[in-house]
Amino acid sequence: MPTPGPHTTRYGGNTSCVALRKDGGDEQLVILDAGTGVRPLGNLLMERSNGALEMDLLLSHTHWDHIQGLPFFAPLAVHGHVVRIWGSKQGNVELPVILQQQMHPVVFPVPLDELATDLTVEHVEPGRFQIDGFDVSAMRVRHPASTMAYRLVPKGGGTSLAYVPDNELGPGGDYGMPENWRAEFVEFLADVDVLIHDAMFAERDLDRFAGWGHSSPEEALAVAAEAKAKQLVMFHHRPEHDDDTVDRLLKNARAKGKKCGVDVVAASEGMEMKL
Ligand SMILES: [Zn+2]
Ligand SMILES: [Zn+2]
């Protein structure tokens, strides 16, 4: 759930949304998840645009907190913009059906099919695929539903980024993964420059939330160190955590990160990083 209010003024209260922009020559834009953070992003893009926008939107999965902002993403309502959505089907339900039902007339005034933008929806399977300007690898992670981690690198090489918003690194839960899943996951993340990873639960709460599909900052840091990631971005803050609590978790994780050579930061509303 979004958690706006005086207790989240610094880290922000919107749900998952990250934008990745490749500058120089043709500018390319990738959006990772469409939680409520995609609404202010859409407004910003509209303000700055002087012509048709074109973008790829990668969905990790379709739990509410990752698609809730999509109906309010302003570029979808404008003729001439191009939006390509990528994501996994959930069980037998195809992604276009999930997105159409999110905007069914009983819950939303404008159906997906009536949006003005040039919209396509593509299914993603684990493995490699290409989007405009980037090579992408996808891997299934330990979270309810079919949830993808994405690793992106600009075509022709450059700084790499991995986006893993929801993932349980602890032993809880049964997600039908192979026994060597963790080794494969470390391989998937090997030497990544920036790892954005689920760090939702404080270490002391982990037992209580085993099987919920999330991790602690310490667990995220351990996998980052194992994979020799340069930087960890703590992501998917718990709705119950206020700014001061995230500060404390970050301070602790940063100190531990220093010992294993991983720089640690915590994602915050509007935060920008140059990769
Ligand atoms: Zn989820
Ligand atoms: Zn989530």
Domain positions in the chain are: 10-87+89-123, 126-268
For residue range 132-141, list pLDDT tens digits in order.
Answer: 999 999 999 9
The whole-model pTM stands at 0.97
Residue 177 to residue 58: CA distance in whole angstroms: 22
H or E segment and range at residue 19:
strand 18-22
CATH superfamily of 126-268: Ribonuclease Z/Hydroxyacylglutathione hydrolase-like (3.60.15.10)
Distance in Å, CA 165 to ligand 1 centroid: 8
- Say what percent of the chain tops pLDDT 90: 94
Locate tokens 């979004």: which residue?
Answer: 2
User: Ligand 1 centre from 162 Cα, in Å?
Assistant: 17
Task: Determine the distance separating the centroid of ligand 2 and the alpha carbon of 110, expressed in angstroms.
Answer: 25
Q: How far is the CA of 194 from the centre of ligand 1 (A)?
A: 21
Work out the angle between the directed axes of helices 243-260 and 217-226 (0-180°, nearest 10).
30
* Model confidence band, residue 26 (pLDDT cutoffs 50, 70, 90): low
Residue 207's pLDDT band (cuts 50, 70, 90): very high
pLDDT for 86-114, tens place per residue?
Answer: 999 999 999 999 999 999 999 999 999 99
* Region 10-87+89-123: CATH code: 3.60.15.10
10-87+89-123 and 126-268 agree in CATH topology: yes
pLDDT at 128 over 60: yes
Confidence of residue 24 (pLDDT cuts 50, 70, 90): low
pLDDT in tens, 209-261: 999 999 999 999 999 999 999 999 999 999 999 999 999 999 999 999 999 99
Q: How far is the CA of 16 from the centre of ligand 2 (A)?
A: 7
Q: How many CB atoms lie within 10 A of CB 178?
A: 9
Q: 213 CA to middle of ligand 1, Å?
A: 7
Sheet holding 54-58, edge to edge: 18-22, 28-32, 54-58, 82-87, 118-123
CA atoms within 13 A on the CB side of 198: 24
